[in-house]
Amino acid sequence: MFNKSFYVLMLCFSLSFVGIAQDCFLGIGGKDTKMIEETFQLNDSQLTTMESLKGELEVQTKVIQDQIDLLLKEHPQSKEEDLIVMGDKYKQLQGQLISLSLDVEQKFLETFNAKQYERYLELCNAAYRRPIKAIPMEYDAEEASPE
């Protein structure tokens, strides 16, 4: 239920920005991270980091989602002013979810080497998305993922 609610919420929020260049998310918080692993040929360290960040994102997202659920359940909704205040609080919580996701994605992108990040930029451009800025990591030759 939590995941479904979160994705419905994210969809509603993202639809409100149609026409504006959207950030290019990899989807670290998604169910299937195998595509990320295969597309970018992640090394063991990157896989460990991705799983750690995914867990961190799930925990922190749950806290915000609980706040959203409580807001929708308990906030007064009988007057127009109540709805406006509730809407403002809801938008603020949505913003926190987006900021959290951006932060996690950026931390993960910073584990990429230059070739992986270049691939990310190419995919974002092909999808007409705004890439998340990150400084790729420099790996030693034996650490680098196979290209």
Q: Residues 9-58: pLDDT tens digits?
A: 454 455 444 445 699 999 998 888 899 999 999 999 999 999 999 999 99
Please give the pLDDT value at position 143: 52
Confidence band of 5 (pLDDT split at 50, 70, 90) = very low
Per domain, the residue ranges of the chain are 2-11+25-126
**Tokens (6 digits) for 19:** 């026409």
pLDDT mean over 73-78: 88
Q: How far apart are CA 93 and CA 96, in angstroms?
A: 5
Unique residue bearing structure tokens 């670290």 = 28
Task: Return phi, psi of residue 23, to 5°.
Answer: -65, 150
Count CB atoms within 10 A of the CB of residue 94: 18
**Tokens (6 digits) for 21:** 């260049």
Please enumerate in sequence order all residues whose Cβ is within 8 A of that of 71, keeping only pairs 6 or more positions apart, or say none.
86, 89, 90, 93
Q: Residues 87-137: pLDDT tens digits?
A: 999 999 999 999 999 999 999 999 999 999 999 999 999 999 999 999 988
Beta bridge partners of 130: 23
Confidence band of 78 (pLDDT split at 50, 70, 90) = confident
For 32, the enclosing helix (H) or strand (E) is none
Q: How far apart are CA 6 and CA 97, in angstroms?
A: 9
